[in-house]
Amino acid sequence: MPIKLSVIICTYNREKYIPGLLESLTKQTFDKSEYEIVFVNNNSNDNTSEICLEFSKNNPKYIFRYYNEPKQGLSHARNRGIREAKSDILIFIDDDALACENYLKEIASFFAKYKDAVAGGGKILPKYESYRPDWMSVFLEPVMSVINLGEKIKKFYGGKFPIGANMYFRKEIFEEIGTFNTKLGRTGKNMLGGEEKDLFNKLRHNNHNVYYLPKAWIYHIIPAVRLTVDFIKKQALGIGFSEKIRAERISKAELMKSYFKELLKWGASIMLFFFYLLTFQSKKGIMIIKFRFWVSKGLITK
């Protein structure tokens, strides 16, 4: 029976979360012979390799392929996964995620039904390890890789696109637009990003359809270390600087467009600030303004 789905997991020193993710992939309602797990270890120095060896040994009925990608960086690891995958549908899921039981079944059904779709992304729900800070608002949760656009399948429009923790592609599309930009994305502990936005912008430029799948959902584990103001600051600076790199590689006009969009976001942020202020949730409003300031600072960094 041919492999229908390739689940690509890229990781760097996340031994704590890997067992939970792998277990969720063994509890799928989808036939185990019709999907493979492509695991890409991006030079982890923890017990990742041992965990994978143990999983492969204890689960011989699952198709599990393990690779080490020596070039450091999430984009390098993802591109390695693309090269090694054996199916026509590629699924990227974060190493600190937990997939729902119908996850693979929903994705397979979607691509079989929506022939015009070249890519998609599902709902991502937060699973806080410790607590939800009182300054965290629904408008900042996307920074934690959280997305919820409702319960209906729909196309992504405007400035919205799938989040990398839960996204899927027809493999053939990478032959047309190229793979993930290795100049963007996280490398080790840096906070750069933008590789996903760069890729989805290419899809939009070529008039390809990208869909939101509510039933192919995951939990994204959010540890306490990501809920500090210092982490949010680094994340925001990385978002701004990544956008600068992405836009500059295209043209000066694209960079000016990014500056203009940032001004519009400032307008929305100020409105949200006053909304939270008037509803006695000032901490949420203040954090939105701080976040916007840090993103802008990253965007204009020399």
The answer to whether residues 93 and 148 belong to one domain is yes
What digits encode the pLDDT tens for the residues 10-24?
A: 999 999 999 999 999
Q: What is the pLDDT of residues 272-289, one digit of tens each?
A: 999 999 999 999 999 999
Same domain as 153, residue 28: yes
Contacts of 21 (CB under 8 A, 6+ apart): 9, 93, 94, 95, 96, 97, 98, 99
Looking at 85-94, 182-191, 249-258, which range is the least confident one? 182-191
The CATH number for 20's domain is: 3.90.550.10
pLDDT of residue 193: 60
Same domain, 90 and 156: yes
Residues 6+ positions from 252 with CB-CB distance below 8 Å: none
Rounded CA-CA distance 39/258 in Å is: 35
The pLDDT of residue 131 is: 84
Specify the number of domains making up the chain. 2
From 202, 227, 252, the end of a domain falls on 227
**Residue 111 confidence (pLDDT) above 80:** yes
Q: Residue type for 63, please? A: I
Q: pTM score, two decimals?
A: 0.87
Q: In the structure, what pLDDT confidence band is assigned to residue 182 with cuts at 50, 70 and 90?
A: confident
Same domain, 59 and 133: yes
Percent of the chain with pLDDT over 70: 96
- Is the model's pLDDT at 223 over the cut of 60? yes
* Domain span holding position 181: 5-227
